[in-house]
Copies of this chain bind each other. A is one copy, B any other.
Amino acid sequence: MKCIIITIGDEILAGKTVDSNSTWLSKELGSMGIGTSMAFTVPDEIEIIATTIEKSLSSADFVITTGGLGPTDDDMTREAIAKALDVELQFDDHYFAKIKDIFAERGIPMPENVRREAYVPEGARVLENGVGVAPGLLLEREGKYFIALPGVPPEMKDIFANQLRPMLSSMDGIEIRRVETFYTAGIPESARCSISFLRP
């Protein structure tokens, strides 16, 4: 099983933010036997995001994006998904009610633009965000899975841990793996590469 991770955001490409999301996701996926075959970082541009999603779906079983699901004009992922998968965005009244509740609970006025976060691509399953506003999105397409997660690390991790991991764990072909790490010191890489670690 192969995954491609797409990190979306001008702030990553400008070097303002280190992309720790794809590292975390690769490790989590690896522990379930899903290898990350490639990773891309793309700007907040619908065309580029859409093309990258489309191409990635043609060569991997899972495609996961992080970022671009927020409320502002530079959050383009929903529109890019709609374009890449040729579906409409539909306003989800049920999720919008939840968003209103979140702001009511926080006791702060709800800016008008958060309505954007209640738009869901046709056929997508909404993955509830336990620590923020924007939901994750899951679409199945010809036996492949497209998953969009928010870029804010605690939100991404919450959705992965509470919504995605349980779902993935029960899929056919997923095998939970144990990783062993051997630390060495005082041997240069050029010499260390010939050491074999064999179990007795």
For chain A, give the interface size range.
Answer: 35 or more
B36, A15: Cβ atoms closer than 8 Å: yes
A190, B15: Cβ atoms closer than 8 Å: no
| Across-interface contacts of A17 in B (CB, < 8 A) | 23
| Across-interface contacts of A24 in B (CB, < 8 A) | 15
- A48 at interface, CB cutoff 8 A: yes
Q: Which of B15, B23, B36, B71 contacts A18 (CB 8 A)?
A: B23
- A121 at interface, CB cutoff 8 A: no
A residues 22-43 touching B (CB-CB < 8 Å): 22-30, 35-43
Q: For the complex formed, measure the closest distance between the CB of A179 and the CB atoms of chain B, giving whole angstroms.
A: 9
Among the stretches A76-84, A108-116, A141-149, A163-171, the one at the interface with B is A108-116
| Across-interface contacts of A13 in B (CB, < 8 A) | 26, 35-39
- A198 at interface, CB cutoff 8 A: no
| Across-interface contacts of A70 in B (CB, < 8 A) | 189-190
